[in-house]
A = this chain, B = another copy of it.
Amino acid sequence: MNAETGEALDAELACPIAPVVDIVFSRWTTPILWTLHEYGRQRFVELQRRIATITPKVLTQRLRQMERDGLVVRTYHPEVPPRVEYEISELGGSLAPLFAALTEWSAENLEKVERARSAYDEGEG
């Protein structure tokens, strides 16, 4: 947010859910949350394997952000070699109904979007 320009404020005025969208639907956050939800508490390398196209750099960045936002919990085990586990926090878990609603909307309407696109593109050509 910028106090000079008030950009974030403007975005919030135009759309009250803008802050939540920033937190929950940033790129890579939903795949990470989903994977943690599907497979439970797991290590860094497991996440990396399951989200095949993510790089360690980006995975670290997103996990840090989500940890800071209180959505995931990071547990460091000081062993050799080091072991780190990630899991969904209670706050993160409270998003489950939301994700379920998104899944349902997707099941009912994703195909309509596809058809709309085809129709639109046909009108173009």
Contact = CB atoms under 8 A, between A and B. Distances in A.
Interface string A92-124: 001101110111011011101101110011000
A79 to B, nearest CB: 22
How many protomers of this protein does the assembly include? 2
B117 A50 contact: no
Contacts of A11: 31, 51, 53
A19 interface: yes
Interface of A: 5, 7, 10-11, 14-21, 23, 25, 30-31, 34-35, 50-53, 67-71, 91, 94-95, 97-99, 101-103, 105-106, 108-110, 112-113, 115-117, 120-121
24 contacts: A5-B53, A7-B53, A10-B51, A10-B53, A11-B31, A11-B51, A14-B31, A14-B52, A15-B30, A15-B35, A17-B30, A18-B31, A19-B106, A21-B30, A23-B113, A25-B25, A70-B117, A91-B112, A91-B116, A94-B105, A94-B109, A95-B105, A98-B98, A98-B105
